[in-house]
């Protein structure tokens, strides 16, 4: 099982998926048939979203088809060599996948090693046991929070603990502390923009530009450095 889970799609200068090209190249090796899941897109049409991703990843020489264009989505999953799940609204993504019966099919295909998985932001959240650590508004009811469960921990994408001057809301760390008080069995990695996780079976490695905090209930966050392996020894 091989996964590439990215915090975000854009660089600070606005370039789209350019930072993902080399880790994606390492992920896919000789795989060429990719299935793109655009369901996190809400204000962008899914055809346009697929074209955008196809153009951004064109240096990888992939054949990318949008799952929404397939007459039999489940069959398309069963044939995919690479499943790409884009960012956007995680609740909308999960709802659309659940309604189409895709969660089990995607999880089985990836766990078996028949397909690799690449996701950013909402697509990274979907790979977790639940979507409870998304930053998105619940604009739709996804019919439950359970997701693919490809990794045994939660990801908080776009992680930052910074607050704008004068802002009186909770910090991200305070929000995650609330989560772990309510669900103490969970573990969470705060994945800053510019970071990603390389997953191969049980091995999970942090990569990118920044250190990332690892949160567990009742403990201070552990700061992980790029290149360091996570050791998620307990199921979430």
Dihedral of the alpha carbons of 142, 145, 146, 151, in degrees to the nearest 10: 120
Asked if residue 153 lies in contact with residue 231, where contact means CB atoms within 8 angstroms, the answer is no
Beta strands in 41-177 (DSSP E): 63-66, 82-85, 116-120, 154-157
Quote the DSSP letter at residue 185.
Answer: T
Has 136 been annotated as catalytic?
yes
Question: Which one of the listed residues 158, 167, 195, 198 is annotated catalytic?
Answer: 158
DSSP letter string, 206-228: EEESS-EEEEETTSPPEEEPTTP
Question: Which one of the listed residues 116, 136, 195, 198 is annotated catalytic?
Answer: 136
Has 146 been annotated as catalytic?
no
Based on the number of CB atoms within 10 Å of its own CB, is 152 exposed (0-12), middle (13-18) or buried (19 or more)? Answer: middle
Based on the number of CB atoms within 10 Å of its own CB, is 173 exposed (0-12), middle (13-18) or buried (19 or more)? Answer: middle
Question: Which one of the listed residues 9, 121, 195, 198 is annotated catalytic?
Answer: 121
Has 233 been annotated as catalytic?
no
Asked if residue 84 lies in contact with residue 62, where contact means CB atoms within 8 angstroms, the answer is no
What are 191's two structure tokens?
């994945």
Other CB atoms within 10 A of residue 114 CB: 14
Distance CA 120, CA 38 (A): 11
User: Which residues are known to be catalytic?
Assistant: 121, 136, 158
């Amino acid at each position: 099982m091989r996964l590439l889970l990215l915090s975000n799609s854009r660089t600070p200068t606005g370039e789209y998926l350019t930072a993902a090209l080399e880790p994606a190249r390492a992920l896919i090796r000789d795989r060429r048939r990719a299935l793109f899941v655009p369901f996190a897109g809400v204000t962008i049409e899914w055809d346009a979203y697929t074209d955008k991703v196809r153009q951004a990843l064109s240096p990888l020489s992939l054949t990318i088809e949008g799952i929404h264009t397939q007459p039999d989505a489940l069959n398309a999953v069963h044939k995919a060599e690479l499943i790409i799940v884009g960012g956007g609204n995680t609740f909308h993504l999960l709802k659309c996948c659940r309604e189409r019966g895709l969660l089990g099919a995607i999880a089985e295909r990836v766990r078996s090693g028949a397909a690799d998985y690449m996701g950013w932001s909402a697509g990274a959240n979907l790979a977790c046991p639940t979507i409870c650590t998304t930053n998105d508004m619940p604009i739709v009811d996804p019919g439950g929070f359970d997701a693919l469960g490809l990794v045994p921990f939660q990801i908080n994408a776009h992680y930052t603990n910074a607050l704008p001057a004068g802002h009186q809301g909770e910090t991200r760390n305070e929000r995650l502390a609330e989560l772990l008080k309510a669900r103490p069995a969970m573990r969470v990695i705060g994945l800053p923009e510019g970071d990603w996780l390389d997953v191969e079976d049980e091995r999970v490695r942090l990569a990118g530009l920044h250190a990332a905090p690892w949160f567990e209930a009742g403990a201070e966050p552990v700061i992980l450095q790029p290149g360091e392996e996570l050791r998620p020894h307990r199921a979430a």
